[in-house]
Every structure is written in C-alpha cells, then in structure tokens.
C-alpha cells in the first residue's frame, strides 16, 4: 500500500523545524494542512514559503487549552473534520540541576508535555469521528529514552511524551485511531538544533564543524540525521499502511542508543 495518504492535519510548531518540513511533505501529497505556531512572524513566513491553497496558518499557543480548542475548531470548520494531529511544538533549556530556574522548568514542561496533552484532548472528538482511521504522531527525542546532563526538564517532558503516547494509544484504539511517537536524535538544521549547536560551541570552544563531526562519529550509521529522516518516519505513522502500529516510540537516531559499529571493527 502506498505511504502517500492525503490527510486533514493539524501540525503544532508548524512554522519551523520538523513541523514545517512535515507540512510541506503533506501538502505535496494533497493533504489539507493547518500549521499552528505561537511565533506569528515565523507563521507568516512559513505561510509565504509554503504558498499552498490547502494550507491554513493558525496562531496556536499549545500551553493554552482555549488556544488548542480554537485551533482544532478552525480545522474542523475549514476542512470539514480532522484526521491527523502532529505534535511538533517544543523548546529546550540548558542548566545544571542547582541552576535551573523554576519558571524555565515550568515553561519546558508546559510546551513539551502539557502542550501534547492539551492538543490531543482538544482534537480527540474530531479524530474519533473523522470517518477514517485517525492518526496522532508526537515528536519525542533521544532524550525520551536516556537522560542527558543539563537538560533535565527536557528529558522529563520527552519521557512523559512517550508515556502519553502509550496511554492515549490504548484510549483511542477502540476507535481505530493510532497514536505513535517519533524519537529523533538532534538535527542541526532546525531552530532547536541551531540553539543546541550554539550552546555546545559556547561551552566547548569547538567550531560547529568540529561538533557535528564528533556527533556523526558517535552514530553507528556514520552521519548526523536530517530533517527528511524524521519526516519520513512521521509520514509512515500517518499512512494507511501503518494501521496496525500504535503505542510505538520509534528511535530515529542511526543506532545511537541501541547499537555500536565499532565493537565489530566495522568502522575502526
């Protein structure tokens, strides 16, 4: 079965990064796509860049129940329903434990975890009643699977996203709606990826090229991930061919967390 499945989709964080890349791919497949973002300047720029009749740009603050509900209602009105939700909005904060500011902790948890909950809750009725097998795809992280120093709020939120994914998969299963999670390693070309790269540059004194070469050397497949790698996984979960896959947290990280090429001497 073809992986190209037109959808009526809402993408949070849709004005940049994985959200924007997913929106572009879905529009190319003939989908009706709403991109929701709290950054209005980026939202306008994304709308100009995509420039598609099936695109609906929406101001969306995923930390607000009212905003999430308004975005879902707008999708229902414009598209006549909703059968896919991609939760891509996310932020990160770096700080060692004793220097974490409470307001920064709360903000990361609100955007990265509560935002997923609120948007899933707001979209639930339309997804159940869409007339086809609906889809939710949440964006996790390699930090959904392993703890990393100085990003404890991000790890807590992204571990929580996997928990929500598995819990919601059970709740939606009677309605044929699947709920899955894509857990990528960092992609340097996204906005968050650039922020992380700059943090590593400032803290290590190394050039971006040196940092990227070092991270690639740690990945068994021998390269850093691209946005396309992540989007391809998202599209798989959105496709009709993934009907029998739900509650999965899929690593898209070149084997970083699960294997090594060096132990066999393959890349010595």
Q: Give per-residue pLDDT as tens, 99-158.
A: 999 999 999 999 999 999 999 999 999 999 998 889 999 999 999 999 999 999 999 999
Of 18, 79, 117, 154, catalytic? 154
pTM score, whole prediction: 0.93
Range 8-186+226-251 has CATH code 2.130.10.10: no
List of the chain residues with pLDDT < 70:
1-4, 261-268
Q: Give per-residue pLDDT as tens, 92-102.
A: 999 999 999 99
**What are the extents of the domains in the chain?**
8-186+226-251, 188-224
Task: Estimate to the nearest angstrom the gap between the alpha carbon of 58 and the chain centroid.
Answer: 17
Q: 191-204 vs 17-28: helix axis angle to the nearest 10? A: 150
Judge whether 154 counts as a catalytic residue.
Answer: yes
């Amino acid at each position: 079965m073809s992986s190209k499945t037109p959808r009526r989709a809402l993408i949070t964080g849709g004005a940049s990064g994985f959200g924007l890349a997913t929106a572009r791919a879905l529009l190319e497949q003939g989908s009706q796509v709403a991109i929701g973002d709290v950054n209005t300047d980026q939202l306008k720029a994304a709308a100009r860049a995509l420039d598609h009749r099936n695109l609906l740009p929406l101001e969306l603050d995923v930390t607000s129940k009212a905003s999430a509900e308004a975005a879902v209602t707008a999708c229902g009105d414009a598209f006549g329903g909703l059968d896919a939700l991609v939760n891509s909005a996310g932020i990160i904060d770096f700080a060692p434990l004793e220097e974490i500011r409470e307001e920064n902790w709360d903000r990361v948890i609100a955007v990265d975890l509560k935002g997923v909950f609120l948007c899933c809750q707001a979209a639930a009725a339309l997804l159940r009643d869409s007339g086809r097998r609906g889809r939710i795809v949440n964006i996790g992280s390699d930090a959904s699977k392993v703890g990393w120093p100085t990003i404890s709020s991000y790890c807590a939120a992204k571990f929580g996203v996997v928990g929500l994914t598995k819990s919601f998969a059970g709740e939606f299963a009677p309605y044929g709606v699947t709920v899955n999670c894509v857990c990528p390693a960092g992609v340097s070309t996204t906005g968050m990826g650039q922020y992380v790269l700059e943090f590593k540059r400032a803290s290590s004194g190394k050039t971006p090229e040196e940092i990227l070469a070092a991270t690639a050397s740690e990945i068994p497949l021998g390269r850093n991930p691209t946005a396309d790698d992540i989007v391809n996984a998202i599209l798989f979960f959105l496709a009709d061919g993934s009907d029998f896959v739900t509650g999965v947290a899929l690593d898209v990280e070149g084997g970083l967390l699960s294997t090594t090429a060096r132990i066999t001497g393959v890349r010595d």
